[in-house]
Amino acid sequence: MTDTFDYITRFVVIVFGYCVAVLAAGFFLAAILYSQIDVLGYALSDPFFQDVFTEIRDAWDMTGFYATVLVGGPVLAVMAGGFSFFPALVLIIVSEARGWKSSLPYCIGGLVIGLLAMGTGSLFSIHDQQLAAGIALMTGAFACSGIVGGFVYWLIAGRNAGRFLARPAE
């Protein structure tokens, strides 16, 4: 009976770790890509908001950063979760079967998953001169957000990977 409860608990920890890791990657991605999102530029182009935002332009810099991260973070986390689910599932199964307890495989796996997500996302975009200028920033941001996600997953669930494999038989 306790084995069943232990396996269910481990499954819940793995799912929770994946969800928090995807959220951390989304927040990191929103913070890095804040300069590319340019919420204030969109607001100032609208005549209705132009008068309002012209008066509070100085205070918007820091407030806009927080607003962009708090709103854009979960949105980018959903996108990151969609791109990374199946590769992360393979990484989680292999790490649980092998009992990897080091953070290095998770960070390298997150790096590879982030680069795969960048490659997949760039297939759907139109390549022009303006996009080519930001491709290096986006590649680095996706790769680093994958590393952040992998490290956060290791902090929550990866440190105890394969713990049930080393149990003595009863």
Give the residue extent of every domain in the chain. 2-160
pLDDT band at 154 (very low <50, low <70, confident <90, very high): very high
- Percent of the chain residues topping a pLDDT of 90: 32
SS (H, E, C) 60-99: HHHHHHHHHHHHHHHHHHHHHHHHHHHHHHHHHHHHHHHC
Token pair of 112 as six digits: 């590879």
Q: What is the mean pLDDT of residues 32-60?
A: 64
Average pLDDT, the chain: 80
Predicted local confidence at residue 65, as pLDDT: 75
